[in-house]
Structure 1
Amino acid sequence: MEKPIKIIPLGGLGEIGKNCLVLEYDQQLLVIDAGIIFPEESVYGVDLVAPDFTYILERKDQVVGIVLTHGHEDHIGALPILLDRIRAPVYGTPLTLGLARHKLEDAGIKNFRFFPVEPGGTLHTGPFSVRFVHVCHSIPDGVGLILETPVGTLVHTGDFKIDQTPVDAIPTQLELFALYGKDALLLLSDSTNVDKEGYSISEKEVGEKLEVIFFKAQGRIFVATFASHIHRIQQILFLSRRFGRKVILAGRRLEENTQIAQKLGHLHVPQGLIIPLSHMRDYPDDQLTIITTGSQGEPMSVLYRVASGEHKQLKIREGDTVIISSRPVPGNERAIARILNQLFMAGAHVFYQEISPVHTSGHAHREELKLILNLIRPRFFMPIHGEFLHLVFHSQLARRLGIPRERIILAQDGDVVELTQDGFSIAEHLETEDIMISGKGIGDIGPQILRERIRMSRFGAVVALLLVDPQEPRLVDEPRIIARGLSEEGEAMENKLKELVEELIAAEPHLLRDENVLKEAVQRVLRRHLGKSLDRRPLIIPVVVQVK
């Protein structure tokens, strides 16, 4: 009986981001990408979210390689978490590995093994032969993959678009997709923009719009974009030189990525064009361009601090021009709207995608997706990289192009798809739990902590501190109550709650013999009172300290 190949998405199917796909044949695993995603606003205090790598970690000795399609955070951001737990060779193009190396070094990960593969090149590991195919995207050195396996050929588009006039003059290698991927067993294709009609705008068209803005601008120009958008940064550098402006890079990751891209030949920086922020006062406003991070409204990013007036050196002045050269990642719309309002209130001239074509997506629109489907004509099709609605729309598009419903794999994160030449099945579904990243804490925030944070944000918190002599048992001192976020009458509220605790212990002194029973009783009394008096359910934290 023919052995199947397993396709196991751990992220990226049901959300845009957190991309991670596992291919498994004969107990040998190949991992494609390891990315992160921004959390929803309701996930309080969480900075980033990574996939659940449990399936990989339980088989870590069977991992024959990790392949990175490109250097965006949603594809390499979780690599430090994964490589902190397993040792496996990592394959990618030089720029992708350069960006990944910096992340690993920042995280203190050592002894990793990187193997660069140029677009058009091939790697062999375990039962997999993987050919890299150059694709246009919003970062250089992005690739799609043509994977030869014992079951058949699999084509993975990576994040791609078909740009006929790319900034680096290297179009998507459709000829390699056609030559090596034609009639593949399976096509896995980017679904991000399946709901967008026609073709994506070329990056050069964005440059033409930016040129008009630069021509009209009379003060400083701020451009907020992704730190990894090397092509966009290149166009801003060219325009700044043309219009006699010096460039300031405001943001550590922006500076690092620029240096890596320049070193690898993906970014041309004229000598003397970039100056440090400390030299800003040496030039008049109409001779300055400031490239910043924070286009997604991330708290504490440069743009966030500039817009809110918190940045020590950069303040928005009337007459400044601000260009938000990106598209909101789903979930970030409200944060970006707040920044836009702050910029307008400060008197800036603001340009963003909804009112001006200052950004184009790096993902294929519908007609480009049709082209790839018709070019490959796969036996089976599996949409990837998108929210579930995108996966459904992409499935419908494939059906209209002649792929039968029974040959379309509509999977979700955690599904274990088994594929042979004759058919597929979803053999099982893995119960996964995302890894929450908060500051330097990785994976130490679970559902209980999130529930507590939500409750504190909505209803406030009460701490009841009790000093107990366990020998007597008795209270050593009167209870202390600390209430936050409940009422303007804080002191009166705390006094009332203290009285309730004192009355409870006076009526039931046996509670002092058991710390857990005492805590539950205090919670019950305070919860009942606050529910009736304020109609609120704050987080109540009894703290019992035993004092001899």
Structure 2
Amino acid sequence: MRIVALGGIGEIGRNMTVFEFGGKLLIVDCGVLFPEDHQPGVNVILPDFSYIRERINDVVAVVLTHGHEDHIGGVPYLLRERADIPLVGSQLTLAFIEAKLKEHRITPKTIQVKEGDRTTMGGFDLEFFAVNHSIPDSLAVAIRTAAGMVLHTGDFKMDQFPLDRRITDLGAFARLGAEGVDLFLTDSTNAEVPGFTTSEKDLGPAIDAVFRTAPRRIIVSSFASHIHRIQQIIDTAHRHRRKVAFVGRSMVRNMTIAADLGYLNIPHGLLVDFKKLERSDDHKVVLICTGSQGEPLAALSRMANNDHAIKISEGDTVLLASSLIPGNENAIYGIINALTEIGANVVHKGNAKVHVSGHASAGELAYCYNIVKPRNVMPVHGEWRHLRANSEIAVATGVEPRNVIIAQDGVTVDLQRGRATVSGKVPAGLVFVDGASVGGITEETLRERRRLAEEGSVTVLAIIDAETGTMTEPPEFFIQGFSCDPADLEKAGTAVEKALADGPSGRQGGRGARNLDPEAVIERATANWMRRFYNRTPVITAIVVDA
């Protein structure tokens, strides 16, 4: 059996692992990665499907371990390659992906499973197990073939007092360990964190304190899929006799689905439309919105920028009930500062115990290794430091160091005769979604966008005599992104005229510019002048008009 991760190893996001056996392919998860500051204009980042594109008809199914965007967000783009790939997942996970696909006008073929179910698809024997995570209905999957058995945990932790009383099935993990797990793919996100992850129920006192002391409105920002946390907010609001409204399209959609399926319990009369709350007393209002990661178009960001129907006022309390995803820190702290400047009291993980992770810490991982006793280990879902820490835990529990594989996206791992080995590498680059464009944006495009943002742009309009190659009048400069003295631009114009006179169309025929057209000569001359006199490297465009 060949295993290749097309995303999720060396990064937090775009999780996608392909299993190949007997000429068939099984995919576990297909998520997105959210862009960082150095990727301006990018909406999301997808796994690279090129490895499977020519064999798309060999894909027997996509198993979705849970409903977070970094595990299901890429599915609409995968189904553009082949719309009838079966999607296998729990009730809530499939409900979330079906709602997402409806927006893409795709009707999927779905197969609902639950913990304890076992089914065969294209030579892959699949068994599903309950795991606890920060979203209900999460599953681990055991994949059996004649080549061996793989256990993929998905995202999980071992909360012994979960809000939905659905704990990670350690008994099943032990049973699989007794049977013999040939390869263990396990969540690495919290491998650096010692001990055990705090229980969700332990957040209750801190959240209650926020509600007890808030003098005016409470605005809670959370992931639109974090049903456990939102249930805590709803329960606390009910105790404090506050009405609740959901704000933001994804929040309204997901919470409606969760409530309809029974995963979210909303007391009768508690939930109202946020527009009706404008007429309510401020101390009786709770708004639950998106934007906990500083997303520029999300509700909380727009509120902080005074670009939303809901206006934050002095004395309001804003509760950020989520963690900081790596790469989003600047955006989040920017929102915290903007809200604080308005006069809001901002409560977040840094100053109150209002969030716990959904991932297993080092103690839980060690516990799992001792139960599962895997022959081979391949840490997944994490950056390099997380993968390394996870591998060290595996070795400390008795796994042979040579049987622990720290891979990266695109590395192929072959499982044969109970041994996992690295066998090669396939393309697994970043695929950028930019508006309606998928894959059209390259690193070169992003470099130019960064230059535009940091250095500005210069457009040079030159009117040139086609016969002599000289300008009939001084060039005109259009500057964007920085200021430039008009007197200096006259000197820049002189430099451009000299370059043209010395260039291929001029009488002197300069050596360096002999093969350049007038636009290239102008752009190079302007770039050299800007670098010498302004110490800038703006994006320069020359427009040449024949006189």
Question: Smaller-chain TM-score range?
Answer: over 0.9
Q: Aligned in 2, Cα 1:508/1:114: closer, same or farther, shift over 3 Å?
A: same
Q: Given that residues 50 and 427 in structure 2 are in contact (C-alpha distance below 8 angstroms), is that contact kept between their aligned partners in structure 1?
A: no
Q: Given that residues 139 and 229 in structure 1 are in contact (C-alpha distance below 8 angstroms), is that contact kept between their aligned partners in structure 2?
A: yes
**Secondary structure of residue in 2 paired with 1:394:** helix
**Secondary structure of residue in 1 paired with 2:81:** coil
Q: Given that residues 511 and 517 in structure 1 are in contact (C-alpha distance below 8 angstroms), is that contact kept between their aligned partners in structure 2?
A: no
Q: Given that residues 183 and 420 in structure 2 are in contact (C-alpha distance below 8 angstroms), is that contact kept between their aligned partners in structure 1?
A: no
Q: Given that residues 65 and 71 in structure 2 are in contact (C-alpha distance below 8 angstroms), is that contact kept between their aligned partners in structure 1?
A: yes
Q: 2:295 aligns with which of 294, 298, 307?
A: 298
**Secondary structure of residue in 1 paired with 2:276:** helix
Q: Given that residues 293 and 302 in structure 1 are in contact (C-alpha distance below 8 angstroms), is that contact kept between their aligned partners in structure 2?
A: yes
**Secondary structure of residue in 1 paired with 2:244:** strand
Q: Aligned in 2, Cα 1:286/1:468: closer, same or farther, shift over 3 Å?
A: same
CA-based RMSD: 2.2
Q: Given that residues 7 and 428 in structure 2 are in contact (C-alpha distance below 8 angstroms), is that contact kept between their aligned partners in structure 1?
A: no
Q: Give the TM-score taking structure 2 as reference length.
A: 0.94
Look up the match of 1:172: 168
Look up the match of 1:247: 244
**Residues 304-315 of structure 1 correspond to what in structure 2 (within 5 A)?**
304-311=301-308, 313-315=309-311
Q: 1:510 aligns with which of 471, 492, 505?
A: 505
Look up the match of 2:268: 271
Q: Aligned in 2, Cα 1:329/1:320: closer, same or farther, shift over 3 Å?
A: same
Q: Given that residues 463 and 541 in structure 1 are in contact (C-alpha distance below 8 angstroms), is that contact kept between their aligned partners in structure 2?
A: yes
Deviation readout 1:76-124 (Å, 9 max, x if unpaired): 111111111124111111111111112222123x242111112221232
**Residues 179-218 of structure 1 correspond to what in structure 2 (within 5 A)?**
179-182=175-178, 183-218=180-215
Look up the match of 1:452: 448
* Farther off after superposition, 77-86 or 428-437: 428-437
**Residues 246-395 of structure 1 correspond to what in structure 2 (within 5 A)?**
246-311=243-308, 313-395=309-391
Q: Which runs of 5+ in 2 are unaligned?
A: 508-513
Q: Aligned in 2, Cα 1:543/1:62: closer, same or farther, shift over 3 Å?
A: farther
Q: Aligned in 2, Cα 1:546/1:290: closer, same or farther, shift over 3 Å?
A: farther
Structure 1 residue 540: Cα displacement: 1.1
Q: 1:99 aligns with which of 68, 75, 96?
A: 96
**Secondary structure of residue in 2 paired with 1:510:** coil
Structure 1 residue 542: Cα displacement: 2.1
Structure 1 residue 503: Cα displacement: 4.4
Q: 1:125 aligns with which of 121, 128, 140?
A: 121
**Residues 75-86 of structure 1 correspond to what in structure 2 (within 5 A)?**
75-86=71-82
Look up the match of 1:149: 145
Q: Distance in 2 between matches of 1:538 and 1:273?
A: 55
Structure 1 residue 504: Cα displacement: 3.9
Deviation readout 1:268-324 (Å, 9 max, x if unpaired): 12232221121122210100001111111111211111122222x222222211111
Q: Given that residues 135 and 171 in structure 1 are in contact (C-alpha distance below 8 angstroms), is that contact kept between their aligned partners in structure 2?
A: yes
Deviation readout 1:179-205 (Å, 9 max, x if unpaired): 235331111110100111111111111
User: Are residue 415 (structure 1) and residue 411 (structure 2) matched?
Assistant: yes
Number of aligned residue pairs: 540
Q: Given that residues 464 and 545 in structure 2 are in contact (C-alpha distance below 8 angstroms), is that contact kept between their aligned partners in structure 1?
A: yes
Q: Aligned in 2, Cα 1:532/1:221: closer, same or farther, shift over 3 Å?
A: same
Structure 1 residue 152: Cα displacement: 1.5
Look up the match of 1:440: 436
Deviation readout 1:109-146 (Å, 9 max, x if unpaired): x2421111122212321110111111111111111111
User: Are residue 37 (structure 1) and residue 33 (structure 2) matched?
Assistant: yes
User: Are residue 89 (structure 1) and residue 86 (structure 2) matched?
Assistant: yes
Look up the match of 1:398: 394
**Residues 210-229 of structure 1 correspond to what in structure 2 (within 5 A)?**
210-229=207-226
**Secondary structure of residue in 2 paired with 1:9:** strand
User: Are residue 501 (structure 1) and residue 464 (structure 2) matched?
Assistant: no
Deviation readout 1:131-175 (Å, 9 max, x if unpaired): 111111111111111111111111111100111111111111222
Query: Which letter maps to 2:203?
Result: V
Structure 1 residue 378: Cα displacement: 0.9
Q: Aligned in 2, Cα 1:104/1:546: closer, same or farther, shift over 3 Å?
A: farther
**Secondary structure of residue in 2 paired with 1:71:** coil
Q: Distance in 2 between matches of 1:400 and 1:487?
A: 60
Q: Distance in 2 between matches of 1:367 and 1:393?
A: 12
Identity %: 39
Q: Given that residues 92 and 116 in structure 1 are in contact (C-alpha distance below 8 angstroms), is that contact kept between their aligned partners in structure 2?
A: yes
Structure 1 residue 207: Cα displacement: 2.5
* Farther off after superposition, 39-48 or 28-37: 39-48
Q: Given that residues 500 and 521 in structure 2 are in contact (C-alpha distance below 8 angstroms), is that contact kept between their aligned partners in structure 1?
A: no
User: Are residue 55 (structure 1) and residue 51 (structure 2) matched?
Assistant: yes
Q: Distance in 1 between matches of 2:365 and 2:376?
A: 15
Q: Given that residues 242 and 286 in structure 2 are in contact (C-alpha distance below 8 angstroms), is that contact kept between their aligned partners in structure 1?
A: yes
